[in-house]
Every structure is written in structure tokens, then in C-alpha cells.
Structure 1
């Protein structure tokens, strides 16, 4: 029986060597290296230092001193931490109930338009480009006791609402403001997904006598379910870190009603100058967000495979 032996060429053998692969991809590594260095320097180095600092009492004058788990023990004894966690969960809940469905509704409504669709897209996205300084000033004026909102309520016989000073309304008011400003970016993602649905599906449904609501329920929503799940997780991760609006509008008030977990980290670090406890709070948040990030990655990979 004749046996044939495959002889590898010297060129292919050279390419399989580590040095050969390195030379082949040298310029690719060279272009990626600055981005990797920036990523390590400004993301992972602070994360590692934050984990280390969570076991120390930070003093820039006398030097740092190791305290072990004392910072974590202080966190679990601090009643305001529990308040901040509850407020953060309440804030996340309000953002889902009030704000999560707004971009979906706008995207579906715009996709159903036969005219002025381009104008509707621009109009819906415009609030997202409003600078935050202008945004906060505008909504402070709208929420003022004698502002436009209360003036409109008074005209229809409803008592004025203390949007900023009433504990039951303060967080809701912030969520409404953020929904108005931020729904445009998510709306464009949903709209792109809806416009990628084959039009034959809608035409077949119309021939079968399906109305608008049946087409939305049986075609549009199932087709964009992967985007809905992904953006839901992204919103959970984003709102869990929310503090900017709470800090700028009310500084956590009234009576800690808008004190979120991330805002409490900022207060520990820059008001109390207790960077060790602030780092420990950040580590706990990092662990929770890491779990959410893993879930997001799994769902994203599943959505890509489904596509």
C-alpha cells in the first residue's frame, strides 16, 4: 500500500512559528496598543486601586493605614446606605415604568407614519442634544411652584404640586425630566430594528385583515424582542449608577428622598473625604454591575445567534 506524506512548505512552517505570527500581525498590534494602554490606564488601574483602597483609611497627609474590613462593616451599619439602596431601586423601577416604554411607543408610531417621518425622527431626538446646564435650568422653571406646569394644573382646577420639595414627587419629577431628554437615542435603535423587518410580513397581515394593533402585537413587538431585552439590561445598569440629576437638581433632598447609591458614594468621597468607605461602596456596586454585565453579554450573544 502506498502512503503519501504531506510535506509542509518552509513558508507555511515559518508562518506557524510565534515569531512569524508576530511579524505578520505587527502593525495590527501596533495600532491596537494605544487603545489597550488607555483602557488599562483609565479603567482597570482605577478599578484595581479602588479595590485596594477599600481596605485602607485614606489620608493624603499622614499616609494610608490598613483597616481590613472596617470600611465594609461601617457600610452595613450606616442607615443611610439602606436608604440610598431603596431610593436607587425605586429610581430604577420608575425609569422602567415611566421611561422604558416611551422610546418603543415613539419608534412604533414614527414607523407607521406615511409622511413627515424624517421630521418626526429629528424632533424626537432633539431633546437628547440639549446641554445638561440648559436642561436643569429649563426643568427647574417648569417645576417651579408658579411655573408652567402648576399654572396649567390650576387652570383645570387641580391644586399645585410641589414637584421639587414633596418627597412623594421629587424622584418622579427627575425621572420625567430624564425620560424627556434621553428617550430619543433608544428610540432610534428601536426604529432601526423596526424598519429592518421585512415589509412582506406587514403586507401579508394586511391582506389577512389584520389591523394596526394586531400587526404591532404579532409582528413588530416579537421582531424587536432582542433589542427590548438588551436595552432593558442597559437601562438597569445605567440607572443603577444614576446620580447626576439627583445631585444637580436636589442634592439628594428633600430629606434624602433622592439620595441614590452612586450619589452617596460621591458624598462620602468629596463631602466627608472618606475615600476608603467610598471605595468599598464602589466595590460592592462593581460586583452587582458585573453580574448584570454578564447577563447582558449572554443575552446579546443569544440575540446575535438568533439573528
Structure 2
């Protein structure tokens, strides 16, 4: 007598389900990112790629483009104005560090030590940042005028008037002073947030031990905001290396190319001389240098997060 053997049949409902693919799990996030990625690619990376390609061509909108290889790079390296612009840009970056970099740090520390009117001080320090550039340039042209308010005070002190905008020794310094007054408010808010996040117990303990205000700043405040100082220092170097707007609008690179920066020379090559190939070569060289600074800044940012 044979016994019938029954084989259990597993229903489809009891089959273990595969976990959804990672891209399906995040598909809505990718869809929301797609417009931003498309805009970023179209208006940033595509022009960068075309700029690299154009740097090897002689651009002619009538006769057509001609491949010239490394000729554009050789041309810009032989141009004496390129070295002048590089020196001016480095000088501009140095002045930005010596004159403007420490201003927001000092103001942030001073405002954090205030017991009254701290909110008013924050607003007053940030207000210059919202001044339109057209108003800004007109205001400082009037202040820097040979018969303007600053020279009026200087002459009352028995000192000869200073030609802020027409003297080669003062033109770049005048630009840095103006830009420091206009833009230090944004960096001040970052430093102020970092200073106010320091535990007050540290200051109270230091005061109990007899530490004065300068000792508290040196041993507590500055070490606590060291990461912000380094990061904003690198960001300022990147920003000042691209200095163009003020030099162009206020003095157009003058007097006698004293404020001719590298970025302004790129604009001159492209739109004054209409040499777009050489302008692209200059832009590629700037892109490489700024890319190097961006890598340093990125690594510093990762180090801070770690």
C-alpha cells in the first residue's frame, strides 16, 4: 500500500519581499534635486567646459573659430599687463587681510562684551552691507574728494590733502577701506554667533581666577573661534582674488593700472580687445588657482566637522 506524500505549497503572499532599491527609496528627493542640478550644469559647469575649450581657439564670430593650441597661453604669459595684474591682485588680497580681515573679529568680540545696546550695535554694524553699490560708490567718491570731508579734517590737522583715488600709493588702500566698511557686517554676524555660543561658565571661571578682559579674549575667545577664523580667512582669499567690481566701477583699473586686478584684465581681454580665446586662457588659469584654494577650504571644513 503506497502512501501519498504531500508537498507543501508556499503561497505567493508568504514569499519574502526584496527590499526596494535605494534609488526607488529616494526617488522623490532626486526628482526635487533635478531642476537645481540642471540649472547648475547649464549655467556653471557648461560655461566652464566651454571656457576650457575656447582657450585653445581663436574666436571669430564672422569667419569662425580656429584651433591655435597653446598660442593663447603663450600670449598671455608674454603680456606684461598680466604680471602687473597678478601683483595688484596679490597686493589687494594682502591689504584685505591686513586692513579688513580683523575688523569683524574685533567688532564681534566688542559687541559680545556689551551689557547694553547689543541689539542696536548688531544692526548698526550690518546696515552698510545693505547699501546699494551705486549709492556706495557715490558716497565714497564724495568722501575721498580732494575737498571732501576726509580731506577737510586732514587739512585742519595741518596735513596736506591726500589724493585717495588719483594717487597710485593710495588708490588700492582706499578701495580696501571702502569695501571693509561695506562688507564687514556679514562676517561679523558669523563671528558673533561663534562667540556667543561659547559657554559663559568659562568666562565666569576665568573671572574668578582673576583673568582680565584681554586674558579672556586671548585664552578663551580666540581659541574657541579658531575654526571660523581659518575658514573665513580662506573664503576671503578666494573672494579678493576675484576682485573686479569696485576696481572697474570706481577707477577702471587706474590710475596708471594701479588697481588693475586679474579679473578686470580678463574682462578687458574679452570685451575691450575682443580676444575671447586669450580671455578664456586667463580664466582657466584663475580657475585652477581658485580650485586649489577651494580644495583647501573643503578640507578645512571637513576637519572642523570631524
> Which TM-score band applies after superposition, normalised by the shorter structure?
over 0.9
SS in 1 for 2:166: coil
SS in 2 for 1:23: helix
Aligned counterpart for 1:10 among listed residues 6, 13, 16? 16
Q: What is residue 95 of structure 1 aligned with on the other side?
A: 96
Question: Which structure is larger by alpha-carbon Rg, 1 or 2?
Answer: 2
Residue 259 of structure 1: CA displacement? 0.1
Q: What is residue 8 of structure 2 aligned with on the other side?
A: none
**Aligned-partner Cα distance in 1 for 2:166–2:42:** 42
**Aligned-partner Cα distance in 2 for 1:165–1:119:** 37
Residue 61 of structure 1: CA displacement? 1.1
SS in 2 for 1:10: coil
What pairs with 1:36-51 in structure 2 (closer than 5 Å)? Answer: 36-51=37-52
**Aligned-partner Cα distance in 1 for 2:16–2:291:** 47
**Aligned-partner Cα distance in 2 for 1:32–1:10:** 33
What pairs with 1:3-152 in structure 2 (closer than 5 Å)? Answer: 10-11=16-17, 13-15=18-20, 20-152=21-153
SS in 1 for 2:33: helix
Q: What is residue 6 of structure 1 aligned with on the other side?
A: none
Residue 21 of structure 1: CA displacement? 2.7
Residue 189 of structure 1: CA displacement? 0.2
Residue 236 of structure 1: CA displacement? 0.2
* Cα deviation 1:281-304 (Å, max 9, x = unaligned): 000000000110000001111111
What pairs with 1:105-254 in structure 2 (closer than 5 Å)? Answer: 105-254=106-255
* Cα deviation 1:255-281 (Å, max 9, x = unaligned): 000000000000101101111000000
| Gapped regions of structure 1 (runs ≥ 5) | 1-8
* Cα deviation 1:130-183 (Å, max 9, x = unaligned): 000000000000000100010010111111000010000000000000000000
**Aligned-partner Cα distance in 2 for 1:301–1:200:** 28
Moved over 3 A (4+): none
**Aligned-partner Cα distance in 2 for 1:180–1:235:** 15
Residue 228 of structure 1: CA displacement? 0.2
**Aligned-partner Cα distance in 2 for 1:243–1:108:** 31
Residue 24 of structure 1: CA displacement? 2.0
Residue 25 of structure 1: CA displacement? 1.6
Aligned-residue Cα RMSD (Å) equals: 1.0
The count of residues paired between Structure 1 and Structure 2 equals 293
Residue 62 of structure 1: CA displacement? 1.0
What pairs with 1:281-296 in structure 2 (closer than 5 Å)? Answer: 281-296=282-297
SS in 1 for 2:298: helix
SS in 2 for 1:121: helix
* Cα deviation 1:191-214 (Å, max 9, x = unaligned): 000000000000000000001000
Residue 44 of structure 1: CA displacement? 0.2
* Cα deviation 1:20-47 (Å, max 9, x = unaligned): 3332222111100000000100100000
Q: What is residue 277 of structure 2 aligned with on the other side?
A: 276
SS in 1 for 2:289: helix
**Aligned-partner Cα distance in 1 for 2:214–2:158:** 35
* Cα deviation 1:233-265 (Å, max 9, x = unaligned): 000000000010000010000000000000000
